[in-house]
Chains A and B, each alone.
Chain A
Amino acid sequence: MSAAAPTSTAYRRRASRPAGSRLELWSWYYFRVSGVLLLLLAFGHLAIMHIVNNVDAIDYHFVAERWRTVGWRVYDWLLLFLALTHGQNGLRIIIDDYLHRAPWRAAAHTANWFLLALFLLLGTATIVTFQPPPAR
Chain B
Amino acid sequence: MTAGPPEITLRIRRSEPGITRQRWESFGVPLADRTTVLDALFWIVRERDRSLAFRCACRAAMCGSCAMVVNGDERLACKTPLAALATPIRVEPLRSLPVIKDLVVDMDTFFDRYQAVEPVVRTDERLAEPAIISPVDPTRLEIGAGLDCISCGACYSACPMVAADPDYLGPAALLRAFNVLSDQREGPEAAEARVAVFGRHGIWRCHGIQECTRVCPKALDPALAIRRLKRRAWSGEFGS
Contact = CB atoms under 8 A, between A and B. Distances in A.
A100 B198 contact: no
Interface stretch (B31-39, B76-84, B127-135, B216-224): B127-135
B236 A15 contact: yes
Contact of B202 (A5, A20, A98): A20
Contacts of A4: 128-129
Contact of A3 (B128, B137, B181, B204): B128
B129 A18 contact: no
A20 B193 CA distance: 10
Interface stretch (B51-59, B110-118, B162-170): B162-170
Nearest to A24: B204
Contacts of A18: 181, 191-192, 194-195, 197-198, 232-233, 236
Contacts of B194: 18
Given A3-B126, A21-B199, A97 B233 contact: no
Contacts of B191: 16, 18-19
A25 B236 contact: no
Q: Which of A18, A19, A24, A98 has the most CB of B within 10 A?
A: A18
Contacts, number: 91
Q: Determine the interface band of chain A, counting residues with CB < 8 A from chain B.
A: 20 to 34
Q: Determine the interface band of chain B, counting residues with CB < 8 A from chain A.
A: 35 or more
Nearest to B197: A20
A3 B237 contact: no
B237 A14 contact: yes
B11 interface: no
Nearest to B196: A20
Contacts of A19: 191-192, 195, 198
Nearest to B240: A12
A93 B181 CA distance: 26
B205 interface: yes
B151 interface: no
Interface of A: 2-8, 11-12, 14-21, 24-25, 28-29, 93, 96-98, 100
22 contacts: A2-B128, A3-B124, A3-B128, A5-B127, A5-B128, A5-B130, A6-B131, A8-B133, A8-B134, A8-B139, A8-B184, A12-B237, A15-B236, A18-B192, A20-B198, A20-B199, A21-B198, A21-B199, A24-B198, A25-B204, A96-B165, A100-B167
